[in-house]
Structure 1
Amino acid sequence: MKNRRLLATTLAALLLIATGMALNEALTRAQVATAAEVLGIDFLNDEEIDQALPGLEDNRKTMLELGQADIPNELSPALVFSPVLRAEQLPADQTVSGPASAPDMLTVSQKEGSVHWLTVKQLGTVIKQRKISCRKLTELFLKRLKKHDPTLHCVITLTEERALKQADMLDAELAAGKYRGPLHGIPYGAKDLLAAKGYKTTWGAKPYENQTIDVDASVIEQLDEAGAILVAKLSMGALAWGDVWYGEKTRNPWNPETGSSGSSAGSASAVAAGLVPFAIGTETLGSIVSPSTVCGTTGLRPTFGRVSRHGAMALSWTMDKIGPITRSAADAGLVLSAIANYDPRDAHAIQAGFQYEWPAGNVKPGTRIGYYKSRMERDYAFHDQDSVALETLRELGYELVPIELPEEPDIRFVLNVEAAAAFESLTRSGQDDELTRQVRNAWPNAFRTAHFVPAVAYVQANRLRRQLMHDMDKVFEDNNIDVYVNPSWHSNSLLITNLTGQPCISVPNGMNAEGTPTSITFTGKLFGEQEMVNVAAAYQSASEWDGLHPQGF
């Protein structure tokens, strides 16, 4: 596929493909007319084409030179996206903190068969009370990862040496009276697009199977500081798409014959199977919500810019978000409070405070939350489970306010254009042929197709995106709500809020006819994660779906 080196990202480059012309041949009026038809351009007559030809020749030369430039994935564009429309959307307090500790009193069985199903909150108490050592807990989860990975294919690399060294250090600190907080000694896994010194970071893709990046991602640095212990780099769909990576397909613990969805495939699968107490995933357009739904975990997608992406693979600089996958909403808020520290190494990071408090459990009477009326009254896959969830929320004391979301513009190609730029070298070199999935909707074809989106269309799409942000802000303000409920899947809320930067949390709310989990999603205002977690935690305490576990694990 060496001829892909002739591709370029402008109208001039299109002509090379349409006509097969050589680089040293001049463009003709007929070739420009053909390319304009491909792009849907209807404002050029023959005289205007003649005027444009010299400029198109210049563009072709420039774009071909840009295509050969060595631009690393981690280099961010000069254009920076922020979801913030007005200053009052930012938290007044810029500090970031979490609860000092888990509850002081907790009775937990010390049988190995039960410890791995404890929540992070519960494990934090067990560690603090020194009922189990950091070393023993880490060994327990490493053992489980080794035992069940051959079934689930959720691990790319175990970080055993790093983990055991850190566990011993944390045990020594506890013995000396130093306690880092409720994540002290808690093992976790990270999606393998987060770099960790001394270990491969493969991005789930064959061309990067042996790649090492000699930094710790900002998220891993912050979790180290909080006392959490990285035990595994977990599988992800190749370049953050789906659940198929170069090693296998990551499996759903509820039905290992099926995939776990993606692209945070291994993170959700491992948490659902009790192989780690929590994991870190990422979302650009559903990659936390989707696998969390399929695997029955709790997935929290933070406000865009709240969590630094330094050291993470870039797919879409204006849409990528990093968040926790856990077994409870309370745990998700806790992990977020450890990774939400501002880091200027991410050019899109936003300095916003977050003082996380454990959800109280009780609901203040008359608390308003929205529900996406027209979508939730339709006949869709999870309708029955979602209807029961709405009734549960009413019984808890919430006032459910019907809302409607704005109609979303058809601009999802923004993601593909940015992804094609992030991996242009892969496309031009022909190494995209090494990716496992080669179907129409997989990355290789999406990257190539995105090269044909004009820069003008990309800018126009982002102007419409700004309008969508204003429209979503108005939904919250006009209805006087901080949170709304929406279907996790088959809902345009997922696309809209990934474009606008709103946070959401998905929690289990039932089982479908196939015996696998369903979920419902709570979506919040910008930087409204505490209110969102409070609602999700209250629902979980009343429904207890998060307490179910797949058999055989």
Structure 2
Amino acid sequence: MNNSVTKYLTLATVGVLSFASGAFMIRRFESVPLTVGIVQEAEKIIGQSFTPAQADSMLNMLEGFNNSYDALHKLNMPNSIVPALTFNPVPVGFANPDAKSGFKQDKTADTKLPADKSEMAFYTIRQLADLIKTKQISSVELTQFFIDRLKKYNPKLQFAITITEERALKKAAEADAEIKAGRYKGVLHGIPFGVKDLLAQKDYKTTFGSNAYKDQQLNVDATVVSKLEAAGGILIVKTTLGELAMGDVWFGGKTKNPWDITRGSSGSSAGSASAVSAGCLPYAIGSETLGSIVSPSTECGDTGLRPSFGRVSKYGAMALSWSMDKLGPIARSVEDAAIVFNTIQGPDDKDLSTIAAPFNYDGSVKSLKGYKIGYVKADFDRAYYGTGANKRAIPNHATDSATLAKLKDLGAELVPIDYPQMPIGAMTFILDAEAGAAFQELVLNHKDDLLVQQHKNAWPNIFRASQFISAAEYIQANRARTLLIQAWYEKLKGLDLYITPSSSTNLSMTNLTGNPCVVLPNGFNQRGRPMSITFMGQLFGEGKMLQAAKVYQDATDFHKKHPNLN
């Protein structure tokens, strides 16, 4: 390759691809004109072919694009600025699964304060709420109890970035005064919780788990935080996340799985999942773009709810992918997740991507009779992965088959389904493109070098490579996404929900379509680590999905088992 062509290839490609590019590159070579040779080399990256005459005709326009990019870079837009285009996951012909809203909790036996208070570590929200409502324990005492556990186990598990002790105890005292005065707000009143440290609370730093932002303090309260505190919740910790919402490695170390501390807790909601599993939080808020609630909940044996896209406001949360980010609870049980979701869901004027939809949940349902539940037959039939010498048995195959049998015993009608015949994995670069825009400033200012992980599949390389995704191909992928949303909607017609084992195809597809899911433990492998099953809902079908998952969970005891932290 000609040396001058090689030297200026990056600059030319920036122009050809019509995307928000690396301004530092443009500024470095801004005096060098684009040439036909540069454009022809750039064609190799974008998969196009132009004649020399066509390339020559583009040069003036490409130079104009570069000038436009440079002008936009100078705006220095923060992560909080959203695009003017808003993703809508609603397919043609869609009707909300729930005709109206309603929320009914299951009846529970009266809870008594245990003689050994350490047992409270694994109590559900409902049990802890009974203790507070009946004044067997104060919110201050309960808050201090969980703060002490956070401090005790954080050195081993590394799940906390900021413990908000002073503010939390003050809020707990206020909750006690309200309850004493007869102003009990409901089941979350006085109950401690944590949030993934990509959600802002104006009194504390919001680090995104990253060296590049570890001193950042945002002067806003995330809507989710505000809603939980308005319900009387006590924020006691901002939990770890894999740096910029990938994995379980952050600027302070690697968050561990309480079931096996030789393993990470997975990510990116690493700290939220680990702390709940360890009995250091009754519940916590996580986020998911492509598996970040499902994966750590599976690893740590929690119950994790990923709501439909648009159900929960993202105001005050770090943006990674504006069309795929979702916030949801990681909890001890399905009903706990439903309680938290009921509090945080709903439209928000501060987040134009939120969508109003009814949520109707009845926790008193005890049977699956009348439920039509789909199951992805190929995923359940797959007993092995790999071929030849690399062929290996899938360890949870028998467990997943037992889950199907249990659902049938509980009265469900099981219906086999299959995935649409579409290139689902090929659409996931939508996330890369949006992430590359969300964190372009790191590339422009060489701050991507500050990130902890620097391997080929880590964020720095993804952010850099994403600058070469063309606007045209990004739009084409989103058009294909429209076809996928419609195709999946048609396949799910007539079903209340469907279930699937852990599956990369399902995870990628449903994060693109915006469908909700709840993941919960359904057994343990030979090494004693939790395994999980995923209940998937119709779009905005959280009500039926959570009801069915609760019926299954109530008929098993996997969620009642806890790691031995000693």
TM-score, normalised relative to structure 2: 0.92
Match runs of 1:153-552 below 5 Å: 153-357=158-362, 359-379=363-383, 380-409=394-423, 410-477=426-493, 480-488=494-502, 490-552=503-565
Change (3 A) 1:137 1:8: farther
From the superposition, tell whether residues 117 and 76 of structure 1 become closer, same or farther in structure 2 (CA, over 3 Å): same
Amino acid at match of 2:75: A
Taking a change above 3 Å as real, the CA distance of residues 203 and 317 of structure 1, as seen in their structure-2 partners, is same
CA distance in 2, matches of 1:154, 1:281: 13
Checking the alignment, whether the CA contact within 8 Å between 2:371 and 2:496 is kept in structure 1 is: no
Question: 1:416-465 deviations in whole A, cap 9, x for unaligned?
Answer: 10001001101111111111111111100000001101100000000000
Q: Counterpart amino acid of 2:43? A: A
What do the CA deviations read for 1:397-425 (whole angstroms, capped 9, x no partner)? 11111111213421110001000100110
For 1:218 and 1:64, the matched residues in 2 are separated by: 34
Distance change (3 Å), C-alpha of 1:172 and 1:403:
same
Q: Note closer, same or farther for the CA distance 1:169–1:19 as it changes in structure 2 (3 Å cut).
A: closer
Matched-pair contact (CA < 8 Å) for 1:334–1:356? no
Letter matched to residue 229 of structure 2: D
| Corresponding residue for residue 42 of structure 2 | 35
* Offset at residue 501 of structure 1 (A): 0.3
Whole-angstrom CA distance in 1 between matches of 2:23 and 2:464: 14
Please tell me whether the aligned partners of residues 105 and 125 of structure 1 are also in contact (alpha carbons under 8 angstroms): yes
Q: For the residues of structure 2 that align with 1:4 and 1:134, how far apart are their CA atoms?
A: 62
Counterpart CA distance in 1 for 2:180 and 2:263 is 45
CA distance, structure 1, for counterparts of residue 9 and residue 521 of structure 2: 45
Q: Which moved more, 1:110-119 or 1:183-192?
A: 110-119
Q: Kindly tell me: are residues 461 and 521 of structure 1, through their superposed partners in 2, closer, same or farther at Cα, counting changes over 3 Å?
A: same
CA distance in 2, matches of 1:227, 1:6: 54
- Partner SS for 2:249: coil
* 1:5/1:203 CA distance change after superposition, 3 Å: farther
Do the aligned partners of 2:273 and 2:297 also contact (CA within 8 Å) in 1? Answer: yes
Give the 3 Å change call, closer, same or farther, for CA 156–92 of structure 1 in structure 2: same
Structure 2 match to 1:47: 53
Alpha-carbon distance, 1:539 to partner: 1.1
Once the 2 structures are TM-superposed, how far is the Cα of residue 513 of structure 1 from its aligned partner? Answer: 2.3
Q: Measure, in 2, the Cα distance between the counterparts of 1:175 and 1:100.
A: 24
- Cα deviation per residue 1:270-307 (whole Å; 9 max; x = unaligned)? 00000000000000000000000000000000000000
Q: Give secondary structure in 2 for the equivalent of 1:330.
A: helix
1:465 partner amino acid: R
**Which amino acid in the other structure matches residue 57 of structure 1?**
E
Q: How far apart, in 2, do the equivalents of 1:381 and 1:7 lie?
A: 49
Amino acid of the structure 1 residue aligned with 2:231: A
Q: Distance in 2 between matches of 1:106 and 1:100?
A: 16
- Corresponding residue SS for 1:507: strand
Runs of 4 or more above 4 Å deviation: 3-9, 12-21, 91-95, 97-104
Please name the residue that 2:3 is paired with: none
Change (3 A) 1:7 1:362: farther
CA distance in 1, matches of 2:76, 2:27: 26
Q: How much is the aligned-residue C-alpha RMSD, in angstroms?
A: 2.4
Greater CA drift, 510-519 or 208-217: 510-519
The residue aligned with 2:127 is 122
Distance (Å, rounded) in 2 between the aligned partners of 1:222 and 1:509: 31
| Alignment CA distance shift 1:467-1:455 (3 Å) | same
Change (3 A) 1:381 1:466: farther
Equivalence for 1:74: 80
CA contact (8 A) 1:4 1:430 kept: no
CA distance in 2, matches of 1:101, 1:386: 27
Per-residue displacement from partner, 1:244-281 (whole Å, max 9, x unpaired)? 00000000000111100000000000000000000000
- Measure the CA separation in 2 of the matches of 1:16 and 1:126: 58
CA–CA distance in structure 2, aligned partners of residues 151 and 383 of structure 1: 32
2:198–2:317 contact (8 Å) kept in structure 1? yes
Unaligned 5+ runs, structure 2: 1-7, 384-393
User: Structure 2 CA distance, aligned partners of 1:278 and 1:46?
Assistant: 61
Cα distance between partner residues in 2 of 1:428 and 1:11: 18
* AA matched with 2:427: I
1:508 partner SS: strand
Residue 91 (structure 2) aligned to one of 85, 89, 95: 85
Q: Which letter maps to 1:77?
A: P
Structure 1 distance, partners of 2:509, 2:548, is 21
Cα distance, 1:355 vs. partner?
Answer: 4.0
What CA distance in whole angstroms lies between the structure 1 residues aligned with 2:173 and 2:10?
51
Matched AA of 2:62: L
Percent pairwise identity: 45
Structure 1 residues 285 and 182: CA distance shift in structure 2, 3 A: same
Preserved contact between residue 4 and residue 427 of structure 1 (Cα < 8 Å): no
Superposed CA offset, 1:215-236 (max 9, x none):
1100000001111110000000
- Once residues 528 and 222 of structure 1 are traced to their aligned partners in structure 2, the CA distance between those partners, rounded to angstroms, is 22
Match of 2:386 in 1: none
Matched, 1:22 2:26: no
Judged with a 3 Å threshold, the aligned counterparts in structure 2 of structure 1 residues 19 and 128 are, in CA distance, closer, same or farther, namely closer
2:161 counterpart SS class: strand
Q: Cα offset for 1:381?
A: 3.9
How many residue pairs are counted as aligned between the two chains? 545
Contact preservation (8 Å) 2:370, 2:412: yes
Residue 56 of structure 1 corresponds to 62
Deviations, residues 326-359 of structure 1 (Å, cap 9, x unaligned) = 01011101100000031111121112232443x2
For 1:263 and 1:492, locate their aligned partners in 2 and report how far apart those are by CA, in whole Å: 19
Counterpart Cα distance in 2 of 1:100 and 1:492: 33
